[in-house]
Structure 1
Amino acid sequence: MQMKLFKSLWGMEAYTYREAFGKIAAAGYSGVEAGVPMKEHRTEFGQLLQEYNLDYIALISTSGNHEETFKANLETAVSLDPTLVISHSARDCMSEERQLQFFEYAVEAEKHYGIPVGHETHRHRAMFTPWTTARLLQAIPDLKITADFSHWCCVCESLLEDQQENLQIAFERTIHIHARVGYAQGPQVPHPDAPEYKRELEAHELWWEHIWNARISKGFASTTITPEFGPPGYMHTMPFSNEPVSDLWEVCLRMADRLRNKFA
């Protein structure tokens, strides 16, 4: 199975699209992960994807009337011919009945537009814990996820040692991986190579390996992964100066290299 590494534009806001795409292509990534650009920039965005031979993963979110915003944002994303769509979907505070209503609608919309959608396991969203996600996946057989287990570590204040059954369900239904390492008190370690976070790194890499093997067993030709470490807010900073403790580009590239060595 082929691994396709994507680079998020999150944290690259200081670059123009041309600068960012050129840097990403030169680093050997297969594609770009980003929100749908503003209407006036979509033509340029699409042309640059072709020029640099980069695939696209679209990131969307829902709010207000979650069904309406999902459909509208999915329709816009599809116009840029993405490999798949990642959705920050629904809310953690919704009732289970309301969540099920939304995701049943989302699966039908996904089928209508013919594009795979992975709903992200993200804080603030419906899939913010392993058990809520498992219940939703069991109730809706065609529902799929983008696995970002760093959020679950933070929410559960653990490395999910007591969540093996729910994790197994998540492994089987993952279509995209966000390869960021979290820990019990936050969604992002300062650096994946830091020896004090060796246990966290090994736990996440084992989870990603389970996903990889699940997809091989199902006959998939490729798996997409984004080393999705983020800028300050997620990245640790020094007190008073707010200076990042690590270089974001280097951290993502280091994780990309680890993934290549593990799965290529």
Structure 2
Amino acid sequence: MRRLKTYTSLWAMQPHDQTGELLSYARVCEMVAEAGFDGLAIDLGAADVDAAHKVRPYLEAYGLTPLIVAFPKSVEGFRDTLELAKDFGAPFVDVIGQVMPITLDEMEPVIRRWLEMSQEVGVPIQFETHRNCITNDLYTTLQLLERIPDMRLSADLSHYVVDREFWHPLSDRDLGLMSRILERSDSFQGRVASRQQIQLQLDFPQHRKWVELFKGWWREGLEGWRDRNATGDCVFVCELGPPEYAMTGPDGREMSNRWDEAQVIKGWIETLWDEMGGDTPVQHVAL
């Protein structure tokens, strides 16, 4: 059976809205579970390993699955994060690699070594499409995918929209490049960007064209995942970050409620999934 699993991020929940209130880990996990999310991503760039251990009892108490987001700063140091993820029961590690060689010839052995470690420890990894890391550039990432067939992605397309400063509407060529990213993506992240802003408010009229663009990409990504996978869990992380990801007014207050918006995106994705057949078992036709 194919199942959709929706997550949000611990980073996105501290604070979770424009009040700026920092909730306890217990309350965060309670809210996330009550809203119907399946898991919580633990971002080791925004928090540390100690924080991961502190939140773990509440994840377990509320039946939430942890997802480890790693920012490895050395090649061999990544093994510790893999071991942590295995101990936590994470479905995979989302890698935002801080080892950033300049040339493809230098990047390739880094990716291949991390893939080897993943096999050795027994935890799958996906490389997030993210700025300021080894997948910083769309063109470079596409070349890495050609060189390394086993390299799988976690698609946060907001970073490439900003990085490439795509004009709207996108050209067929640029849409094709993004489709190549989605074809190699095994999970997806929910944030809407424009060519100049990494995180847009969902209900502002001027942002509607970007919202529709991303909804189309999410549909394409989910459809492709279902075509490739007869069974398994498709993970979608609603990751709306606090300031300075979230835009603020002159008073420093956020311009929208990110917790509400995360649940809106969750609803969109669940609707798309249901329109594709939902969690129903794949029917095998006897020959």
Is the TM-score greater than 0.5?
Answer: yes
Separation in 2, partners of 1:226, 1:98: 30
Structure 2 residue 140 is matched with structure 1 residue 132: yes
Structure 2 residue 218 is matched with structure 1 residue 208: yes
Separation in 2, partners of 1:220, 1:94: 38
Equivalenced residues, count: 260
Aligned amino acid, residue 9 of structure 2: S
Aligned amino acid, residue 199 of structure 1: K
Given that 2:85 and 2:92 are in contact with CA atoms closer than 8 Å, whether structure 1 keeps it comes out as no
Match of 1:83, SS state, is coil
Partner of residue 65 from structure 2, selected from 35, 55, 58 = 55
Partner of residue 89 from structure 1, selected from 87, 94, 97 = 97
Given that 1:90 and 1:99 are in contact with CA atoms closer than 8 Å, whether structure 2 keeps it comes out as no
Structure 2 residue 204 is matched with structure 1 residue 194: yes
Match of 1:5, SS state, is strand
Aligned amino acid, residue 59 of structure 2: L
Deviations 1:82-115 (A, max 9, x none): 1121111145562211211110111111111222
Structure 2 residue 23 is matched with structure 1 residue 15: yes
Which deviates the most, 143-152 or 6-15?
6-15
Partner of residue 115 from structure 2, selected from 107, 110, 122 = 107
Separation in 2, partners of 1:135, 1:192: 33
Evaluate the alpha carbon distance shift between residue 93 and residue 236 of structure 1 in structure 2; reply closer, same or farther with a 3 A threshold. farther
Aligned amino acid, residue 58 of structure 2: L
Q: Which runs of 5+ in 1 are unaligned?
A: none
Q: Which runs of 5+ in 2 are unaligned?
A: 15-21, 275-287
* 1:173-184 matches, cutoff 5 A: 173-184=184-195
Structure 2 residue 125 is matched with structure 1 residue 117: yes
Moved over 4 A (4+): 36-44
Which deviates the most, 129-138 or 21-30?
129-138
Match of 1:152, SS state, is helix
Deviations 1:113-168 (A, max 9, x none): 22221111111112123221111111111111110100101011115533234323
Deviation at 1:79, TM superposition (A): 1.8
Given that 2:98 and 2:133 are in contact with CA atoms closer than 8 Å, whether structure 1 keeps it comes out as yes
Given that 2:9 and 2:43 are in contact with CA atoms closer than 8 Å, whether structure 1 keeps it comes out as no
Separation in 2, partners of 1:192, 1:220: 32
Q: 2:18 aligns to what?
A: none
Q: 2:3 aligns to what?
A: 2
Aligned amino acid, residue 103 of structure 2: S
Separation in 1, partners of 2:53, 2:98: 30
Q: 2:258 aligns to what?
A: 248
* 1:146-157 matches, cutoff 5 A: 146-157=154-165
Deviation at 1:38, TM superposition (A): 5.0
Partner of residue 227 from structure 1, selected from 228, 238, 252 = 238
Partner of residue 24 from structure 1, selected from 23, 29, 32 = 32
Aligned amino acid, residue 204 of structure 2: A
Deviation at 1:69, TM superposition (A): 2.6
Given that 2:12 and 2:239 are in contact with CA atoms closer than 8 Å, whether structure 1 keeps it comes out as no
Evaluate the alpha carbon distance shift between residue 57 and residue 216 of structure 1 in structure 2; reply closer, same or farther with a 3 A threshold. same
Q: CA RMSD in A?
A: 1.9
Given that 1:61 and 1:73 are in contact with CA atoms closer than 8 Å, whether structure 2 keeps it comes out as no
